[in-house]
Structure 1
């Protein structure tokens, strides 16, 4: 199948849009009904669903940390990587805007009080975890995530058809553990979208959710290369 770069761009935009709208939307709109566990599944199911919807077009990265890890591992060209990252960030920003518009339909909603599912550390993290705890968590959780992604999509893995399921469930697992710490990013685009609208410490601490996942993604790719030479 010959897929153009513009088709890949649209797929990555759409996939990231769905991830941020549904994942962050579960926190903003349904959080009081489904709790942390429901939010964790919303993020995991978003990735699982989009993996099978757009995976054959772009690989369903929908995450700059994944794209950068794939670039470092030689699985994607620099040209494609640049387009993917732009599409992912754009998709996240548009999703945050749509979520903000929908959330305002409830009279009690206030951006400052309710946010947009943004990530944070310190006093504004869900359970008040420190910046250092948040940074380390983002690095380690993203590394684990990328080991799963590289492993399940490897040419040496005979069960590649189930990659989307494994990847979606691993993201769910990461959210179950990590939501109290930072709200879980492991994805710079997912953090950039909401932070641009919320501002304040979400924007000040945004670097944690850019640097942490990128470092973690590179670490995960390096760990994978230790045992799989595909």
Structure 2
């Protein structure tokens, strides 16, 4: 989210803008929440509810978990950092002129760190789970993204590339539209969280849904060699989709009417 969308117009009694350190801490904590909630639901729920007929319930639960974590994080940390929690969103926001380019690299470092801390915490919890739980979770990819044999629906690499570009672009357009400094809404967090839920409902069967390189890195680190080998798609193409959307939004929708 854009910082300007969360905070009202400045007034003399308003608090000063957050420091860069506070923004980075917010991005780290927000990404931790997203990965811990979303990937954690995928790991724990998918591993537990394995009876016939339970797959659809887990599928919806994972989609909701990712959407709810972004919704909660947006309202908790958005007023500090803009609530990106996603390197693709940060780069897309910079392309749209919503964040300074000089802040992009620190944001991405904080996001990746937050995601890795979250997946490490999930792995630590798994170490104290039922016998063989962690090994089984890692052998099944640790909720990583993938294609072909690693796609829940058996989709190929080109399908993963296309859907990541399209859905990350759509996600960025929703974010930029709902958080516009003058035309945005105070309910931006709700709209963004629900849009991420919808994105997961669409694309979990295709590639287990990335639209977020930090989420993909966090899972792939514990997902084994195949997950790491396929990771590049989920680093490159969400960023491509977000930056295309950022430049397009700035060109198409950021103009003002002339008298």
| Residues 145, 167 of structure 1: 8 Å contact kept | yes
Q: TM-score if structure 2 supplies the norm length?
A: 0.85
1:223 Cα offset (Å):
3.2
Q: Aligned partners of 1:216 and 1:119: how far apart in 2?
A: 17
Which of these residues, 159, 165, 169, is aligned with residue 133 of structure 1?
159
| Residues 29, 103 of structure 1: 8 Å contact kept | no
Determine which structure has the larger helix proportion and give its number: 1
2:158 is aligned with 1:119: no
**Which residue does the alignment assign to 1:96?**
119
Structure 2: segments with no counterpart, 5+ residues: 1-15, 50-56
Q: Aligned partners of 1:190 and 1:59: how far apart in 2?
A: 18
Aligned-residue Cα RMSD (Å) equals 1.4
**Which residue does the alignment assign to 1:30?**
45
Q: How many residues align?
A: 229
Which of these residues, 128, 132, 136, is aligned with residue 108 of structure 1?
132
Residue 174 of structure 1: SS of its match in structure 2? helix
**Which residue does the alignment assign to 2:246?**
221
Q: Aligned partners of 1:106 and 1:142: how far apart in 2?
A: 36
Superposed, which structure 2 residues align to 1:184-199 within 5 Å?
184-199=209-224
- Which of 167-176 and 103-112 deviates more? 103-112
Which of these residues, 61, 67, 71, is aligned with residue 48 of structure 1?
71
**Which residue does the alignment assign to 1:59?**
82
2:25 is aligned with 1:10: yes
1:224 Cα offset (Å):
2.0
Q: Aligned partners of 1:221 and 1:208: how far apart in 2?
A: 20
Q: Aligned partners of 2:229 and 2:140: how far apart in 1?
A: 18
2:213 is aligned with 1:180: no
Q: Which has the larger radius of gyration?
A: 2
**Which residue does the alignment assign to 1:202?**
227
- Which of 149-158 and 86-95 deviates more? 149-158
Q: Aligned partners of 1:212 and 1:128: how far apart in 2?
A: 19
| Residues 40, 176 of structure 1: 8 Å contact kept | yes
Which of these residues, 62, 68, 75, is aligned with residue 98 of structure 2?
75
Q: Aligned partners of 2:113 and 2:131: how far apart in 1?
A: 28
Residue 99 of structure 1: SS of its match in structure 2? helix
Q: Aligned partners of 2:154 and 2:231: how far apart in 1?
A: 16
Q: Aligned partners of 2:125 and 2:255: how far apart in 1?
A: 46
1:129 Cα offset (Å):
0.6
Q: For residues 114-149 of structure 1, give each alpha carbon's deviation from its aligned partner in whole angstroms, at most 9, with x where no partner exists.
A: 432111111111111100000111000000100100
Residue 222 of structure 2: SS of its match in structure 1? helix
| Residues 141, 227 of structure 2: 8 Å contact kept | no
1:195 Cα offset (Å):
0.8
